[in-house]
Structure 1
Amino acid sequence: MNLLNKFLPNKRTFNLFVMFLILSFSGCFMVALRTLITLNSNYFFLIWNLFLAWIPLFLSLILIVEEIHKVAKIFFGVAWIIFYPNASYFITDFIHISRGGYHLSSHTGIEVVVWYDFLMISLFVFTGLLIGFLSLYLLHKKIEKKIGFHAGWRFIIAAEILSSYGIYLGRFIRLNSWHVVTNPYNLVKSVLWSFNFETLIFVIILSFFLTLIYIALYNISQLSKQNNY
Protein backbone atom coordinates (compact mmCIF):
# COMPACT_ATOMS: atom_id res chain seq x y z
CA MET A 1 0.00 0.00 0.00
CA ASN A 2 2.93 2.35 0.72
CA LEU A 3 4.18 1.76 -2.84
CA LEU A 4 0.74 2.66 -4.20
CA ASN A 5 0.70 5.85 -2.13
CA LYS A 6 4.06 6.88 -3.61
CA PHE A 7 2.86 6.57 -7.19
CA LEU A 8 -0.66 7.93 -6.59
CA PRO A 9 0.13 10.82 -4.23
CA ASN A 10 -3.44 11.75 -3.22
CA LYS A 11 -7.04 10.58 -3.33
CA ARG A 12 -7.98 12.81 -6.27
CA THR A 13 -5.19 11.39 -8.42
CA PHE A 14 -6.32 7.88 -7.50
CA ASN A 15 -9.95 8.69 -8.35
CA LEU A 16 -8.92 10.10 -11.74
CA PHE A 17 -6.83 6.98 -12.36
CA VAL A 18 -9.89 4.80 -11.72
CA MET A 19 -12.08 7.05 -13.90
CA PHE A 20 -9.59 6.79 -16.77
CA LEU A 21 -9.61 3.00 -16.42
CA ILE A 22 -13.41 3.02 -16.73
CA LEU A 23 -13.23 5.26 -19.81
CA SER A 24 -10.54 3.05 -21.32
CA PHE A 25 -12.49 -0.17 -20.82
CA SER A 26 -15.60 1.54 -22.23
CA GLY A 27 -13.69 2.46 -25.39
CA CYS A 28 -12.31 -1.06 -25.74
CA PHE A 29 -15.83 -2.47 -25.30
CA MET A 30 -17.13 -0.20 -28.09
CA VAL A 31 -14.37 -1.43 -30.43
CA ALA A 32 -15.12 -5.06 -29.54
CA LEU A 33 -18.86 -4.53 -30.06
CA ARG A 34 -18.30 -2.88 -33.44
CA THR A 35 -16.04 -5.74 -34.51
CA LEU A 36 -18.63 -8.31 -33.44
CA ILE A 37 -21.52 -6.61 -35.27
CA THR A 38 -19.74 -5.55 -38.49
CA LEU A 39 -17.18 -8.40 -38.61
CA ASN A 40 -14.57 -5.70 -39.26
CA SER A 41 -11.56 -5.28 -36.97
CA ASN A 42 -10.19 -2.11 -38.61
CA TYR A 43 -10.50 -0.07 -35.41
CA PHE A 44 -8.45 -2.34 -33.17
CA PHE A 45 -5.57 0.11 -33.61
CA LEU A 46 -7.43 2.42 -31.20
CA ILE A 47 -6.78 -0.04 -28.36
CA TRP A 48 -3.06 -0.13 -29.12
CA ASN A 49 -2.96 3.68 -29.31
CA LEU A 50 -4.72 3.82 -25.95
CA PHE A 51 -2.08 1.56 -24.43
CA LEU A 52 0.60 3.96 -25.71
CA ALA A 53 -1.35 6.91 -24.24
CA TRP A 54 -1.14 5.37 -20.77
CA ILE A 55 2.66 5.13 -20.85
CA PRO A 56 3.40 8.87 -20.24
CA LEU A 57 1.05 8.85 -17.24
CA PHE A 58 2.93 5.96 -15.63
CA LEU A 59 6.22 7.70 -16.43
CA SER A 60 5.06 10.96 -14.83
CA LEU A 61 3.94 9.08 -11.71
CA ILE A 62 7.47 7.69 -11.47
CA LEU A 63 9.06 11.09 -12.06
CA ILE A 64 7.20 12.81 -9.21
CA VAL A 65 8.49 10.32 -6.63
CA GLU A 66 11.17 12.06 -4.56
CA GLU A 67 13.27 8.92 -3.99
CA ILE A 68 13.99 8.37 -7.70
CA HIS A 69 17.70 8.73 -8.52
CA LYS A 70 18.74 11.69 -10.69
CA VAL A 71 20.03 9.45 -13.51
CA ALA A 72 16.77 7.48 -13.47
CA LYS A 73 14.83 10.76 -13.62
CA ILE A 74 16.73 11.80 -16.75
CA PHE A 75 16.02 8.43 -18.36
CA PHE A 76 12.31 8.49 -17.50
CA GLY A 77 12.10 12.18 -18.43
CA VAL A 78 13.42 11.51 -21.93
CA ALA A 79 11.07 8.53 -22.21
CA TRP A 80 8.17 10.78 -21.17
CA ILE A 81 9.01 13.33 -23.92
CA ILE A 82 9.10 10.50 -26.48
CA PHE A 83 5.80 8.91 -25.44
CA TYR A 84 3.76 11.97 -24.41
CA PRO A 85 2.57 12.76 -27.99
CA ASN A 86 0.73 9.41 -28.05
CA ALA A 87 -1.88 10.77 -25.62
CA SER A 88 -2.91 13.62 -27.93
CA TYR A 89 -2.37 11.70 -31.17
CA PHE A 90 -5.98 10.45 -30.96
CA ILE A 91 -7.14 13.84 -32.27
CA THR A 92 -5.89 12.88 -35.71
CA ASP A 93 -7.83 9.60 -35.71
CA PHE A 94 -11.01 11.43 -36.72
CA ILE A 95 -9.65 11.23 -40.25
CA HIS A 96 -10.58 7.53 -40.31
CA ILE A 97 -14.29 8.42 -40.40
CA SER A 98 -13.88 10.18 -43.75
CA ARG A 99 -11.91 7.19 -45.00
CA GLY A 100 -14.48 4.75 -43.65
CA GLY A 101 -15.41 2.86 -46.79
CA TYR A 102 -18.86 2.02 -45.39
CA HIS A 103 -20.70 -0.68 -47.32
CA LEU A 104 -24.08 -1.55 -45.79
CA SER A 105 -27.41 -2.51 -47.24
CA SER A 106 -29.22 0.71 -46.36
CA HIS A 107 -28.36 4.40 -46.08
CA THR A 108 -29.83 4.43 -42.55
CA GLY A 109 -27.51 1.60 -41.57
CA ILE A 110 -24.51 3.55 -42.82
CA GLU A 111 -25.55 6.62 -40.80
CA VAL A 112 -25.82 4.55 -37.62
CA VAL A 113 -22.35 3.08 -38.08
CA VAL A 114 -20.83 6.47 -38.93
CA TRP A 115 -22.29 8.05 -35.79
CA TYR A 116 -21.21 5.05 -33.74
CA ASP A 117 -17.67 5.43 -35.09
CA PHE A 118 -17.70 9.15 -34.35
CA LEU A 119 -18.76 8.58 -30.74
CA MET A 120 -16.30 5.71 -30.34
CA ILE A 121 -13.35 7.72 -31.64
CA SER A 122 -14.48 10.74 -29.60
CA LEU A 123 -14.37 8.59 -26.45
CA PHE A 124 -10.80 7.59 -27.25
CA VAL A 125 -9.85 11.21 -28.02
CA PHE A 126 -11.42 12.39 -24.76
CA THR A 127 -9.75 9.63 -22.75
CA GLY A 128 -6.35 10.10 -24.38
CA LEU A 129 -6.38 13.86 -23.84
CA LEU A 130 -7.37 13.53 -20.18
CA ILE A 131 -4.71 10.89 -19.53
CA GLY A 132 -2.11 13.07 -21.21
CA PHE A 133 -3.16 16.25 -19.43
CA LEU A 134 -3.06 14.54 -16.02
CA SER A 135 0.46 13.36 -16.84
CA LEU A 136 1.37 16.90 -17.88
CA TYR A 137 -0.27 18.43 -14.81
CA LEU A 138 1.66 16.19 -12.39
CA LEU A 139 4.98 17.24 -13.92
CA HIS A 140 3.83 20.87 -14.19
CA LYS A 141 3.14 21.07 -10.44
CA LYS A 142 6.38 19.25 -9.66
CA ILE A 143 8.45 21.69 -11.73
CA GLU A 144 6.51 24.68 -10.37
CA LYS A 145 7.24 23.54 -6.83
CA LYS A 146 10.93 22.89 -7.47
CA ILE A 147 11.86 25.75 -9.84
CA GLY A 148 9.04 28.26 -9.88
CA PHE A 149 5.78 29.40 -11.45
CA HIS A 150 7.20 30.68 -14.75
CA ALA A 151 9.37 27.59 -15.24
CA GLY A 152 6.25 25.45 -14.88
CA TRP A 153 4.43 27.27 -17.68
CA ARG A 154 7.49 27.33 -19.92
CA PHE A 155 7.55 23.57 -19.51
CA ILE A 156 3.89 23.37 -20.60
CA ILE A 157 4.49 25.39 -23.76
CA ALA A 158 7.64 23.43 -24.66
CA ALA A 159 5.90 20.11 -23.99
CA GLU A 160 2.94 20.96 -26.23
CA ILE A 161 5.18 22.20 -29.05
CA LEU A 162 7.27 19.01 -28.94
CA SER A 163 4.11 16.92 -28.63
CA SER A 164 2.54 18.59 -31.67
CA TYR A 165 5.68 17.95 -33.67
CA GLY A 166 5.63 14.32 -32.52
CA ILE A 167 2.01 14.03 -33.65
CA TYR A 168 2.99 15.44 -37.05
CA LEU A 169 5.74 12.82 -37.37
CA GLY A 170 3.29 10.10 -36.41
CA ARG A 171 0.41 11.09 -38.68
CA PHE A 172 2.23 12.33 -41.79
CA ILE A 173 5.69 10.71 -41.66
CA ARG A 174 4.28 7.53 -40.08
CA LEU A 175 6.87 7.33 -37.32
CA ASN A 176 6.14 6.10 -33.81
CA SER A 177 7.82 6.24 -30.41
CA TRP A 178 9.33 2.77 -30.77
CA HIS A 179 11.46 3.90 -33.73
CA VAL A 180 13.81 5.53 -31.22
CA VAL A 181 14.95 1.99 -30.37
CA THR A 182 14.02 -0.10 -33.41
CA ASN A 183 15.11 2.23 -36.23
CA PRO A 184 16.94 5.32 -34.94
CA TYR A 185 18.71 5.97 -38.26
CA ASN A 186 15.44 6.25 -40.19
CA LEU A 187 14.00 8.36 -37.36
CA VAL A 188 16.82 10.92 -37.51
CA LYS A 189 16.70 11.03 -41.31
CA SER A 190 12.93 11.52 -41.34
CA VAL A 191 13.11 14.25 -38.70
CA LEU A 192 15.73 16.17 -40.67
CA TRP A 193 13.64 15.99 -43.84
CA SER A 194 10.38 16.92 -42.08
CA PHE A 195 11.13 20.60 -41.46
CA ASN A 196 9.06 22.71 -43.84
CA PHE A 197 6.37 25.39 -43.82
CA GLU A 198 3.55 22.82 -43.57
CA THR A 199 5.18 21.32 -40.47
CA LEU A 200 5.54 24.75 -38.87
CA ILE A 201 1.88 25.67 -39.44
CA PHE A 202 0.64 22.30 -38.16
CA VAL A 203 2.79 22.49 -35.01
CA ILE A 204 1.77 26.11 -34.25
CA ILE A 205 -1.96 25.46 -34.66
CA LEU A 206 -2.02 22.15 -32.78
CA SER A 207 0.22 23.28 -29.91
CA PHE A 208 -1.92 26.42 -29.52
CA PHE A 209 -5.06 24.26 -29.44
CA LEU A 210 -3.63 21.78 -26.90
CA THR A 211 -2.25 24.54 -24.68
CA LEU A 212 -5.63 26.30 -24.60
CA ILE A 213 -7.38 23.08 -23.57
CA TYR A 214 -4.79 22.46 -20.87
CA ILE A 215 -5.17 26.01 -19.54
CA ALA A 216 -8.96 25.59 -19.42
CA LEU A 217 -8.71 22.28 -17.55
CA TYR A 218 -6.02 23.71 -15.28
CA ASN A 219 -8.29 26.58 -14.26
CA ILE A 220 -11.18 24.20 -13.67
CA SER A 221 -8.92 22.14 -11.39
CA GLN A 222 -8.13 25.26 -9.37
CA LEU A 223 -11.80 26.05 -8.60
CA SER A 224 -11.83 23.75 -5.57
CA LYS A 225 -8.98 25.77 -4.07
CA GLN A 226 -11.10 28.91 -4.00
CA ASN A 227 -12.82 29.72 -0.72
CA ASN A 228 -16.17 30.04 -2.46
CA TYR A 229 -16.22 26.38 -3.55
Structure 2
Amino acid sequence: MKEILANALEVFNWHSGWIIWNLFLALIPFLLSFWLYRRRSTSRSLFWWITFAVFFAFLPNAPYLLTDIIHLIRATRSGYSAFILTLIFIPLHLFAILTGFEMYVISVLNQGHYLKRIGLKKYVNGSEIATHALCALGIYMGRFRRFNSWDLVNDPANVLLITLDDLTTKRPAIVIFISFIGLTVLYWIAKQITLGLVLRFREMQAKQEWFD
Protein backbone atom coordinates (compact mmCIF):
# COMPACT_ATOMS: atom_id res chain seq x y z
CA MET A 1 0.00 0.00 0.00
CA LYS A 2 2.85 2.37 0.87
CA GLU A 3 4.43 1.64 -2.49
CA ILE A 4 1.17 2.45 -4.28
CA LEU A 5 0.77 5.72 -2.39
CA ALA A 6 4.40 6.68 -3.02
CA ASN A 7 3.95 5.99 -6.72
CA ALA A 8 0.71 7.97 -6.76
CA LEU A 9 2.41 10.93 -5.08
CA GLU A 10 5.26 10.83 -7.59
CA VAL A 11 2.81 10.72 -10.48
CA PHE A 12 0.83 13.61 -9.00
CA ASN A 13 3.95 15.77 -8.61
CA TRP A 14 4.94 15.03 -12.19
CA HIS A 15 1.59 15.78 -13.82
CA SER A 16 -0.20 18.01 -11.32
CA GLY A 17 2.37 20.14 -9.57
CA TRP A 18 0.72 23.17 -11.16
CA ILE A 19 -2.32 22.90 -8.88
CA ILE A 20 -0.88 24.61 -5.81
CA TRP A 21 0.81 27.37 -7.80
CA ASN A 22 -2.19 28.13 -10.02
CA LEU A 23 -4.56 28.13 -7.06
CA PHE A 24 -2.24 30.57 -5.30
CA LEU A 25 -2.33 32.88 -8.33
CA ALA A 26 -6.13 32.63 -8.38
CA LEU A 27 -6.27 33.38 -4.67
CA ILE A 28 -4.53 36.75 -5.09
CA PRO A 29 -7.36 38.54 -6.97
CA PHE A 30 -9.93 36.73 -4.83
CA LEU A 31 -8.50 38.21 -1.64
CA LEU A 32 -7.90 41.61 -3.22
CA SER A 33 -11.54 41.77 -4.32
CA PHE A 34 -12.64 41.75 -0.68
CA TRP A 35 -10.30 44.60 0.22
CA LEU A 36 -11.25 46.61 -2.86
CA TYR A 37 -14.98 46.04 -2.90
CA ARG A 38 -16.20 44.81 0.48
CA ARG A 39 -14.52 47.12 2.98
CA ARG A 40 -16.60 49.75 4.70
CA SER A 41 -14.99 52.75 3.05
CA THR A 42 -15.75 53.44 -0.61
CA SER A 43 -12.98 56.01 -0.99
CA ARG A 44 -10.48 55.44 -3.79
CA SER A 45 -6.98 56.57 -2.92
CA LEU A 46 -3.88 56.15 -5.09
CA PHE A 47 -3.14 52.91 -3.24
CA TRP A 48 -6.68 51.73 -4.06
CA TRP A 49 -6.09 52.29 -7.77
CA ILE A 50 -2.72 50.51 -7.65
CA THR A 51 -4.39 47.55 -5.92
CA PHE A 52 -7.17 47.67 -8.51
CA ALA A 53 -4.58 47.39 -11.29
CA VAL A 54 -2.91 44.44 -9.54
CA PHE A 55 -6.33 42.84 -9.11
CA PHE A 56 -7.07 42.95 -12.83
CA ALA A 57 -3.55 41.85 -13.74
CA PHE A 58 -4.00 38.67 -11.70
CA LEU A 59 -7.73 38.09 -12.21
CA PRO A 60 -7.35 36.01 -15.44
CA ASN A 61 -5.40 33.45 -13.39
CA ALA A 62 -8.65 32.33 -11.74
CA PRO A 63 -10.63 31.36 -14.88
CA TYR A 64 -7.34 30.24 -16.47
CA LEU A 65 -7.65 27.11 -14.35
CA LEU A 66 -10.46 26.01 -16.67
CA THR A 67 -7.87 25.45 -19.38
CA ASP A 68 -5.86 23.19 -17.09
CA ILE A 69 -8.31 20.43 -17.95
CA ILE A 70 -5.69 19.53 -20.58
CA HIS A 71 -3.46 18.22 -17.78
CA LEU A 72 -6.20 15.84 -16.70
CA ILE A 73 -6.73 14.70 -20.29
CA ARG A 74 -3.01 14.05 -20.68
CA ALA A 75 -2.92 12.13 -17.42
CA THR A 76 -5.80 9.87 -18.47
CA ARG A 77 -3.91 9.05 -21.66
CA SER A 78 -0.67 8.20 -19.87
CA GLY A 79 -1.63 4.64 -19.02
CA TYR A 80 -1.98 5.01 -15.26
CA SER A 81 -4.18 2.67 -13.28
CA ALA A 82 -7.85 3.34 -12.69
CA PHE A 83 -7.03 3.59 -8.96
CA ILE A 84 -4.67 6.54 -9.46
CA LEU A 85 -6.91 8.24 -11.98
CA THR A 86 -10.10 7.86 -9.95
CA LEU A 87 -8.79 8.61 -6.48
CA ILE A 88 -6.06 11.16 -7.24
CA PHE A 89 -6.08 12.79 -10.64
CA ILE A 90 -9.76 13.38 -11.29
CA PRO A 91 -10.78 14.63 -7.80
CA LEU A 92 -7.77 16.94 -7.39
CA HIS A 93 -7.96 18.37 -10.89
CA LEU A 94 -11.70 18.99 -10.67
CA PHE A 95 -11.27 20.53 -7.21
CA ALA A 96 -8.61 22.93 -8.50
CA ILE A 97 -10.56 23.90 -11.61
CA LEU A 98 -13.88 24.43 -9.82
CA THR A 99 -12.28 26.25 -6.88
CA GLY A 100 -10.36 28.58 -9.17
CA PHE A 101 -13.43 29.41 -11.20
CA GLU A 102 -15.56 29.95 -8.10
CA MET A 103 -12.96 32.42 -6.84
CA TYR A 104 -13.36 34.24 -10.15
CA VAL A 105 -17.15 34.28 -9.78
CA ILE A 106 -17.01 35.67 -6.26
CA SER A 107 -14.43 38.28 -7.25
CA VAL A 108 -16.66 39.59 -10.05
CA LEU A 109 -19.71 39.49 -7.76
CA ASN A 110 -17.78 41.58 -5.24
CA GLN A 111 -17.07 44.07 -8.01
CA GLY A 112 -20.76 44.31 -8.82
CA HIS A 113 -21.57 44.77 -5.15
CA TYR A 114 -19.19 47.70 -4.99
CA LEU A 115 -20.72 49.37 -8.04
CA LYS A 116 -24.14 49.12 -6.43
CA ARG A 117 -22.81 50.66 -3.22
CA ILE A 118 -21.43 53.72 -5.03
CA GLY A 119 -24.61 54.25 -7.06
CA LEU A 120 -23.48 52.69 -10.33
CA LYS A 121 -25.85 49.72 -10.40
CA LYS A 122 -26.67 50.24 -14.08
CA TYR A 123 -23.05 49.47 -14.97
CA VAL A 124 -22.88 46.08 -13.22
CA ASN A 125 -23.76 43.99 -16.28
CA GLY A 126 -21.47 46.03 -18.49
CA SER A 127 -18.60 45.67 -16.03
CA GLU A 128 -19.10 41.90 -15.94
CA ILE A 129 -18.99 41.68 -19.73
CA ALA A 130 -15.88 43.88 -19.88
CA THR A 131 -14.24 41.76 -17.19
CA HIS A 132 -14.99 38.54 -19.09
CA ALA A 133 -13.53 40.06 -22.25
CA LEU A 134 -10.32 41.13 -20.52
CA CYS A 135 -9.99 37.75 -18.82
CA ALA A 136 -10.59 35.89 -22.10
CA LEU A 137 -7.73 37.90 -23.56
CA GLY A 138 -5.60 37.18 -20.50
CA ILE A 139 -6.34 33.46 -20.69
CA TYR A 140 -5.28 33.36 -24.33
CA MET A 141 -2.06 35.28 -23.65
CA GLY A 142 -1.26 32.98 -20.76
CA ARG A 143 -2.12 29.67 -22.42
CA PHE A 144 -0.81 30.29 -25.94
CA ARG A 145 1.71 33.12 -25.53
CA ARG A 146 2.87 31.91 -22.12
CA PHE A 147 2.82 35.38 -20.59
CA ASN A 148 2.47 35.80 -16.83
CA SER A 149 0.78 38.57 -14.87
CA TRP A 150 4.12 40.11 -13.89
CA ASP A 151 5.12 40.45 -17.57
CA LEU A 152 2.85 43.50 -17.59
CA VAL A 153 5.51 45.13 -15.40
CA ASN A 154 8.66 43.37 -16.63
CA ASP A 155 8.01 43.71 -20.36
CA PRO A 156 4.89 45.83 -20.97
CA ALA A 157 5.89 46.98 -24.46
CA ASN A 158 6.31 43.43 -25.76
CA VAL A 159 3.04 42.32 -24.14
CA LEU A 160 1.20 45.25 -25.71
CA LEU A 161 2.62 44.68 -29.19
CA ILE A 162 1.87 40.95 -29.21
CA THR A 163 -1.60 41.54 -27.77
CA LEU A 164 -2.45 44.07 -30.47
CA ASP A 165 -1.10 41.72 -33.12
CA ASP A 166 -3.23 38.83 -31.85
CA LEU A 167 -6.35 40.98 -31.64
CA THR A 168 -5.94 41.95 -35.28
CA THR A 169 -5.15 38.43 -36.48
CA LYS A 170 -8.07 36.20 -37.44
CA ARG A 171 -7.26 32.92 -35.66
CA PRO A 172 -6.20 34.37 -32.27
CA ALA A 173 -9.14 36.78 -32.35
CA ILE A 174 -11.57 33.89 -32.94
CA VAL A 175 -10.06 31.87 -30.08
CA ILE A 176 -10.31 34.88 -27.75
CA PHE A 177 -13.93 35.47 -28.80
CA ILE A 178 -14.88 31.82 -28.22
CA SER A 179 -13.15 31.97 -24.83
CA PHE A 180 -15.15 35.09 -24.01
CA ILE A 181 -18.45 33.41 -24.90
CA GLY A 182 -17.58 30.29 -22.92
CA LEU A 183 -16.43 32.31 -19.93
CA THR A 184 -19.58 34.43 -20.00
CA VAL A 185 -21.89 31.40 -20.13
CA LEU A 186 -20.05 29.51 -17.41
CA TYR A 187 -19.96 32.61 -15.22
CA TRP A 188 -23.71 33.13 -15.59
CA ILE A 189 -24.41 29.53 -14.57
CA ALA A 190 -22.00 29.63 -11.63
CA LYS A 191 -23.37 33.03 -10.59
CA GLN A 192 -26.91 31.68 -10.32
CA ILE A 193 -25.71 28.71 -8.29
CA THR A 194 -23.60 30.89 -5.99
CA LEU A 195 -26.36 33.44 -5.40
CA GLY A 196 -28.84 30.63 -4.82
CA LEU A 197 -26.60 29.07 -2.19
CA VAL A 198 -26.06 32.45 -0.52
CA LEU A 199 -29.82 33.05 -0.44
CA ARG A 200 -30.42 29.59 0.98
CA PHE A 201 -27.79 30.12 3.65
CA ARG A 202 -29.36 33.44 4.66
CA GLU A 203 -32.80 31.84 4.88
CA MET A 204 -31.44 29.09 7.12
CA GLN A 205 -29.65 31.70 9.23
CA ALA A 206 -32.84 33.74 9.59
CA LYS A 207 -34.82 30.65 10.65
CA GLN A 208 -32.20 29.77 13.20
CA GLU A 209 -32.28 33.28 14.65
CA TRP A 210 -36.09 33.13 14.79
CA PHE A 211 -36.02 29.84 16.71
CA ASP A 212 -33.33 31.16 19.05
Question: What TM bracket, shorter-length normalisation?
Answer: 0.7 to 0.9
Structure with larger RCO (C-alpha < 8 A, sep 6+): 2
Q: Distance in 1 between matches of 2:79 and 2:183?
A: 35
Q: CA deviation at 1:154?
A: 0.4
- Alignment-derived partner of residue 193 in structure 1: 165
Q: Distance in 2 between matches of 1:98 and 1:217?
A: 23
2:139 aligned residue (167, 171, 184): 167
1:146 aligned residue (118, 123, 146): 118
- Alignment-derived partner of residue 46 in structure 2: 71
- Calculate the TM-score normalised by the size of structure 1: 0.72
- Alignment-derived partner of residue 218 in structure 1: 191
Secondary structure of the residue aligned to 2:17 is helix
Written as runs of structure 1 = structure 2, the 5 A alignment for 1:37-48 is 38=11, 40-48=13-21
C-alpha spacing 1:49/1:181, structure 2 compared with 1 (3 Å)? same
Q: Distance in 1 between matches of 2:43 and 2:15?
A: 41
C-alpha spacing 1:74/1:156, structure 2 compared with 1 (3 Å)? same
Q: CA deviation at 1:121?
A: 1.2
Q: CA deviation at 1:215?
A: 2.4
Q: CA deviation at 1:134?
A: 0.8
Q: CA deviation at 1:125?
A: 0.5
Gaps of 5+ in 1: 1-31
What is the aligned length? 192
Deviations 1:83-134 (A, max 9, x none): 1100010111111233346255xxxx2x333443233211101000111111
* Amino-acid identity (%): 27
Correspondence 1:52 to 2:25: yes
- Calculate the TM-score normalised by the size of structure 2: 0.78
Gaps of 5+ in 2: 205-212
Deviations 1:119-165 (A, max 9, x none): 32111010001111111111111112324332011000000110011
Q: Distance in 2 between matches of 1:67 and 1:74?
A: 12
Of stretches 146-155 and 168-177 in structure 1, the one that deviates more from structure 2 is 146-155
Aligned CA RMSD, in angstroms, stands at 2.8
